[in-house]
């Protein structure tokens, strides 16, 4: 599990569609909120872009991503 890879949400770009929260099955986001709140960074899978790929607002970057 990843201590050096997890999503960072740009709250100004986010339109709170909930896609990222819905997508992730690793407990990274608080499932009780449509607005993405990262609660468990250790659950994130190293190198995964699953939530970011779904984001319509390009509001997700990853801590640890060398391409940003």
Span 9-48, contacts to ligand SF4 by CB under 6 A: 9, 14-20, 23-24, 26, 28, 36, 44-45, 48
Q: Report the distance separating Cα 26 and Cα 13, nearest Å.
A: 24
Q: Report the distance separating Cα 43 and Cα 59, nearest Å.
A: 20
Give the residue with the Cβ less far from ligand SF4, 30 or 57: 57
Contact partners, residue 38, CB within 8 Å, separation at least 6: 6, 7, 8, 9, 28, 29, 30
Q: Does residue 8 bind ligand SF4 (CB under 6 A)?
A: no
Residues in contact with ligand SF4 by CB under 6 A are 7, 9, 14-20, 23-24, 26, 28, 36, 44-45, 48, 50-51, 54-57, 59-60
């Amino acid at each position: 599990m990843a201590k050096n890879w997890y999503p960072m949400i740009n709250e100004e770009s986010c339109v709170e569609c909930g896609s990222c929260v819905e997508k992730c099955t690793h407990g990274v986001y608080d499932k009780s909120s449509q607005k993405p709140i990262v609660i468990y960074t250790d659950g994130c899978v190293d190198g995964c872009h699953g939530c970011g790929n779904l984001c319509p607002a390009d509001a997700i970057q990853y801590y640890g991503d060398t391409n940003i």
